[in-house]
Structure 1
Amino acid sequence: MVTATERDEMTWYQCEACGLLFDDPDDAEQHEEHCDAEDPSYLQ
């Protein structure tokens, strides 16, 4: 599930599985469909 959070006067969408933040809710939902809930291999 994607949750919305306010940060730096913007709304960010967070993948609950891994914690990665997105500025677009569609991107967040697409990521979450393929997220393996492990730490991402790139820096957040």
Structure 2
Amino acid sequence: MVTATERDEMTWYRCDACGLLLSDQTDAEQHEEHCDAEDPSYLQ
């Protein structure tokens, strides 16, 4: 499930599994379909 959130006068879409914020709802939904709910690889 993707949750819409307002931050810095913009709407962001948060992946409920890992918490990643994306500015595009479609991108967020696609991310969530493939999210393994572990720490995102971009933090490594």
Q: What range is the shorter-chain TM-score in?
A: over 0.9
TM-score normalised by the chain length of structure 2: 0.94
Once superposed, what is the RMSD of the aligned Cα atoms? Answer: 0.6
Q: What is aligned with 1:34?
A: 34
Residue type at the aligned position of 2:31: H
Alignment coverage as a number of residue pairs: 43
Instruction: List, as ranges, runs of 4+ consecutive aligned residues in structure 1 with deviation greater than 6 Å.
Output: none
CA separation in 2, counterparts of 1:30 and 1:42? Answer: 17
Counterpart of 2:16 in structure 1 is: 16
SS in 2 for 1:36: coil
What runs of 5+ residues in structure 1 fail to find an aligned partner? none
Q: Point out where structure 2 has 5 or more consecutive residues left out of the alignment.
A: none
Structure with the higher fraction of residues in helix conformation: 2
> Could you tell me how far apart the structure 1 residues matched to 2:24 and 2:40 are?
18
Percent of counterpart pairs with the same letter? 86
| Cα-to-partner distance string for 1:1-44 (whole Å, 9 max, x where unaligned) | 0000000000000000000000000000000000000010114x
